[in-house]
Amino acid sequence: MVYSHSYLPFFFLSIFRRRSALVEGIMCEYQRGINGVHSQNDTDSEEGAKIFKLLETAAEPEFLMAEMSPEQLRSFTTYKAKFEAAQQMRKEKSVAETLEDAGLGERNVTPFMRIRLVGLTSLSYEGEHNPKEGIVTIWDPTERQRTELTEGKIYMMKGLVPINSDSEILYLHARGSSSRWQPLSPKDSENFQPFFNPRKPISLSNLGEIPLSSEFDIAAYVVYVGNAYTDVLQKKQWVFVTDGSAQHSGEISNSLLAISFSTSFMDDSSVSHISHNLVGSVVGFCNLIKRAKDVTNEIWVAEAAENSVYFINAEAAYSSHLKTSSAHIQTWAKLSSSKSVIHELRQRVLSIIGACKSPSC
């Protein structure tokens, strides 16, 4: 019998990098005016087409537009809308045809869930309490498995297949439709030794209290998102966050956390980078790994592992423990005094990146 200790949803996308390269190539052609982007039929609006082409070649088009009559502006606006709609349709058609010709027309998406488990020890057992952990990958999980598997509950499972094992962790996999997860009754669950430590959010002010290489969850304000880069056999990206806790104590020197995200460079799957649009948002991070602190720059450092996850909505079942801290950080970020601190932290990040000469910056 085991219990679900860390329930995290993942999706494996078998989308090749070649697909992205082909799409980028098509977009570049359109930006250079190739692929017939100027072949719009002028019969739709002869005057609008003439104005459109005139403004395209004009050195100062805004002055020409200022001298146009309302009828001319209306003709131009109508033609421009039709032109852009037709151009978008041509782009989509070109992308679809190019991917189809290359054999990349369909996306094969296989959803899976990864769950961390631990064995249970009976209260009557007099030996050493050293339960073995396991990682189960459920391919094509059922809707019931997605919604009903809960942290801290005990389950009796059928249909699991062992893959391999090391001294600490047993790896297994299963198909959602062929595996069974039956929750144990609360009464029967009382026959086992305590096994579950509920998730608790951590703040930067007490990050020093947890040991290196241990997992932690945190809600934080995104200060800066670095550019993705390649390093040996990995694609990496750094994200810098704060939570305002250090400012409350009057000390901001240790109020930055740098999180490293990485994926295998040899993996042909297309992995989305962390969006720069997250800057200024409060984000929850689960299962980050604490790494050695950057003492020189006074920055905490963490790594996003394979089972790490981040999210903006703290209402999710596996992230609800960060809801309160997320709300506090959002309130803090709106204070006028906080804006200057955030600006100072962002300048610190930029100065560190500017002083760094390696590609990782």
pTM of the model: 0.59
Residue for token digits 């020093």? 208
**Model pLDDT, residue 274:** 81
What are the CA-CA distances from residue 227 to residues 261, 274, 301, 311 (Å)? Answer: 11, 9, 17, 19
Burial readout 18-40 (b: 16 or more C-beta within 10 A, e: otherwise): ebeebbeebeeebeeeeeebeeb
Residue 315 vs residue 194, higher pLDDT? 194
Bridge partner residues of 247 (DSSP) = none
Report whether pLDDT(106) > 90.
no
Q: What is the mean pLDDT of residues 275-304?
A: 91
Query: Residue 245: pLDDT band by 50, 70, 90 thresholds?
Result: confident
Residue 27 backbone zone (phi > 0: left; psi -120 to 50: alpha; other: beta): alpha
2-14+109-189 placed in CATH 3.40.50.300: no
Fold match, 2-14+109-189 / 204-355: yes
- Specify which of 83-87, 128-132, 342-346 reaches the highest per-range mean pLDDT: 342-346
pLDDT at 40 (0 to 100):
47
By CB atoms closer than 10 A (0-12, 13-18, 19+), residue 253 is: exposed
Domain boundaries, the chain: 2-14+109-189, 17-101, 204-355
Burial of 221 per CB tally in 10 Å (0-12, 13-18, 19+):
buried
β-pairing verdict for 133-139 and 169-175: parallel
Distance CA 256, CA 347 (A): 12
pLDDT, residue 335, reads: 87
Mean pLDDT of 48-70: 81
Mean of pLDDT values over 326-330 = 89
Sheet holding 180-183, edge to edge: 161-165, 169-175, 133-139, 108-119, 2-14, 154-158, 180-183
Q: In which band, very low, low, confident or very high, does the pLDDT at 222 lie, cut at 50, 70 and 90? A: very high
Model confidence at 265: pLDDT above 70: no
| Summary mean pLDDT of the chain | 78
The 10s digit of each residue's pLDDT in 22-56 is 665 666 666 555 444 444 444 446 788 888 888 87
pLDDT for the residue 359: 46
pLDDT in tens, 125-165: 887 777 888 888 899 899 888 888 888 888 988 888 888 77
Confidence of residue 71 (pLDDT cuts 50, 70, 90): confident
Q: Does pLDDT of 108 surpass 70?
A: no
Residue 210 predicted with pLDDT over 60: yes
What letter represents residue 262's amino acid? S
Tell me the average pLDDT across 56-67: 79
Which of the four pLDDT bands, split at 50, 70 and 90, describes residue 216? very high
Would you say 196 and 152 are in contact if contact means Cβ atoms under 8 Å apart?
A: yes
CA nearest to 55, candidates 29, 31, 80: 80
Q: What is the rounded average pLDDT of the residues 162-170? A: 79
**Residue range 333-341: average pLDDT?**
87
Q: Are 360 and 353 in contact (CB under 8 A)?
A: no
Joined together, the tokens standing for residue 336 give 């006028």
Instruction: Give the single-character DSSP code of 60.
Output: S
Average confidence (pLDDT) over 194-213: 86
- CATH architecture for the domain at 204-355: Beta Barrel (2.40)
Residue 21 has pLDDT above 90, yes or no: no
Q: What percent of the residues of the chain are helix, what percent strand, and what percent coil, each to the nearest 5? A: 35, 30, 30
Give the pLDDT of residue 259: 95
